[in-house]
Structure 1
């Protein structure tokens, strides 16, 4: 069965407006008619007659003439009122149609933009002008949503292209090593062992890249665990993980830590701190220094990590946040790592309501500042400690 076609919102608004005008006009005409027809007839001319008396014939004729004239007057008033009401209904419908069209124009533009967005075009914006009303607010929210979607899809497309390239290259290398080993009938067991070791190293690097991609996806999804995380213990654990690399390259680590707890995902926060410290050790000079400090803010905790690595151009610092960017540019370098460390830290900080700031040191190296908001429990604890100290 074919569904009946519904009227548009513009048509319904017009009919509602015209219907209200019609109803108001009908009520007004009825009141005028009632007042003119009945109230007027109740008015008596002359003094009231106290007793029965004879009425001259001439007065009876005059009364009938007055009644006839009154009926003609009422009929003329009704015809004029109905005609005026009909004209008013037509005018109100026309004005209502025009006003409804102007009021609903942003919705029409929004509908067209939504259709284009569904087909993949996210570039159009409404940029609505005029008074700040509900439709204007809705248009602004719609524009912000399109802008956010456009940025997200742009990042995802670039990220997918980089990730596919990063995984395709080692897979092709592995395939080449296996093909060469199999094509050599004179290959000894030692040769095959060396090939297998190289394949194992390549697969280990691939696994690290995939794990990092999963961590980044978890951070960007916003689905975080909310636990009470001890940041001091987290930093100390991360320092223990880089201890072998610190000893191998004779690095000097100085720390200034303090008790601090933040609400968040313990796994992602531990991964973020580890990435920052691992970068500070990996991109450092032989015998360089790593400075780790913590500070308590009014509404958060600040972790500052500074190293003495090679000089980084100030204009290229922000690009280090992008996936698969290491050192001086994009793509793999001779150094180890998958190039996702700072991208993960940035995503984790944003997901926790914090931020990661990067700055190049004038004498070389990088300074990373990670700020995270503290929970109500931490604020209450800090206030209690301050009050206790003041009382002492």
Structure 2
């Protein structure tokens, strides 16, 4: 009970102190400037008082001759124990009077100094208020501008000019943040527009098929069956598109859990499920896998490998090949997928990793342009590097490098705002793949 009472009392005192502390930075700075001046002035006055208040043992004795001539007058100075006994009583009286006079003078000095300190403290508080306002003026400008910026005018910038001090660094940092926010909003708008377009096209076809079935009075069972088969195909395509969108959103949110994985094992599982598709497309699939242990989400990493293999098989040429390699190099575990295929401009490789981007390709083949963008998001969620370049003979080489698995599991990623652009996927040369 005593501990609880003491805790409640401490909390109440802390609340009282927090209520007493001014909420405005300008007022706090003013009080700080005034307090520092008062403390400095008090210390200076104390030092001056101690220096002036030093005691002295000097005794001055004045003597005038009996004739009263100026030549008989004399002044003798005695210090310490040199005072003779004949003048001791007179010196003692004079010394007491000097002490009283010195004390009165010191009291007067102390009073006048206190009054001067109080007056200067008021002046210092006023000057501190002006100086604090001048110092905080750029911050008020930054705050006002940031409050005015919204999604409609996110292109505006603070553009603070002046010396490269902390306030200039703060303004430049805010401008950089606004630039990244503008890029993210633009990417989000493009993503929404592309997703709406991808969904609108099959919906339009579905509506036309249903309308045809209703207005065709001579429709037969075979025509109905044909329309329903097309509707079923469109429905499956939309389901795959929605599943891809959900995977993309989930990978950009970050990882909720991490477990020990082996890229070689996951790659083997993926390749087992693609045998029939490879035979149907008459493609030769080769795997060169060695153990590559990482921490990660098994479903997402398997989806990454599956998307790479699916992309390599879907955009290939007759009698082509696909090569999948896993291993460890340079302190990283990697998976690399290379394939034959049509020529890809080197400058257009990075576009393939943006959502709904296709170079010379259409959506009629069942691909929506989300496979490689999902690969990029999953790689970013696992702190992996992503490199890609086009083969001179045609096709693409993509390599994803994961941090090697250590003995201790990393902590789960904190919740993050979904991002759009992450890694640089430019056409960088990779180590030679088995081609």
Kindly tell me: are residues 63 and 322 of structure 1, through their superposed partners in 2, closer, same or farther at Cα, counting changes over 3 Å? closer
Distance in 2 (CA, whole Å) between partners of 1:233 and 1:66 is 99
Does 2:389 correspond to 1:373? Answer: no
Aligned match of 2:209 in 163, 177, 185? 177
Whether 2:30 is the aligned partner of 1:14: answer yes
| Alignment partner of 1:212 out of 227, 230, 244 | 244
Which stretch of structure 1 is more off in the superposition, 26-35 or 370-379?
26-35
Deviation per CA, 1:196-218: give whole Å up to 9, x if none: 11111101000000000000001
Q: The residue matched to 1:364 in structure 2 has which SS?
A: coil
Deviation at residue 137 of structure 1 after TM alignment: 7.1
Distance 1:299 1:26, change over 3 A: same
Distance in 1 between residues matched to 2:394 and 2:355, nearest whole Å: 22
- 1:77 is displaced (CA, Å) by 7.6
CA distance in 2, matches of 1:296, 1:60: 101
* Kept in 2: contact 1:125–1:146 (CA 8 A): no
Of 25, 29, 38, the match for 2:41 = 25
More helix by share: 1
How many positions carry a matched residue from both structures? 369
The CA deviation at 1:148 is: 3.8
For the residues of structure 2 that align with 1:117 and 1:223, how far apart are their CA atoms?
Answer: 32
Q: What is the alpha-carbon distance in structure 1 between the residues aligned to residue 260 and residue 160 of structure 2?
A: 43
Maintained 8 Å contact 2:339/2:395 = yes
Equivalent residue runs for 1:193-232 within 5 Å: 193-232=225-264
Q: Which has the larger displacement, 202-211 or 64-73?
A: 64-73
Q: Is the 8 A contact 2:22 2:28 kept in 1?
A: no
Shift of 1:265: 0.8
2:371 aligned with 1:341, yes or no? yes
The Cα of 1:185 is off from its aligned counterpart by: 2.1
**Deviation of the 1:4 alpha carbon:** 11
Match of 1:298 in 2: 330
Indicate the SS of the match to 2:402.
strand
Q: Is the 8 A contact 2:387 2:399 kept in 1?
A: yes
Structure 1 window deviating more from structure 2 (62-71 vs 312-321): it is 62-71
Deviates more, 1:221-230 or 1:39-48: 39-48
Match 2:359 to one of 303, 320, 327: 327
Q: Secondary structure at the match of 1:305?
A: strand
**How many angstroms does 1:140 deviate by?**
6.4
2:426 equivalent in structure 1: none
Offset of 1:241 from its aligned partner? 2.2
Mapped partners of 1:53, 1:250: distance in 2 = 129
Following TM superposition, by how much is the alpha carbon of 1:61 offset from its aligned partner in structure 2, in angstroms?
A: 11
Q: Is contact 1:22–1:89 with CA below 8 Å preserved after alignment?
A: yes
- Tell me: CA distance 1:180–1:5, structure 2 relative to 1, closer, same or farther (3 Å): farther
3-state SS of paired residue (1:334): helix
Q: Do residues 276 (structure 1) and 276 (structure 2) align?
A: no
Which 5+ residue runs of structure 2 have no aligned equivalent? 1-18, 62-77, 410-435
The offset of 1:99, in angstroms, is 4.5
Given that residues 321 and 343 in structure 1 are in contact (C-alpha distance below 8 angstroms), is that contact kept between their aligned partners in structure 2? yes
Instruction: Give the greater-gyration-radius structure (CA).
Output: 2
Say what the alpha-carbon RMSD is for the aligned residues.
Answer: 3.8
Give the secondary-structure state (helix, strand or coil) at the position aligned to 1:353: coil
Give distance in 1, aligned partners of 2:261 and 2:160. 43
CA shift at 1:292, angstroms? 1.6
- Structure 1: which 5+ residue stretches go unaligned? 380-392
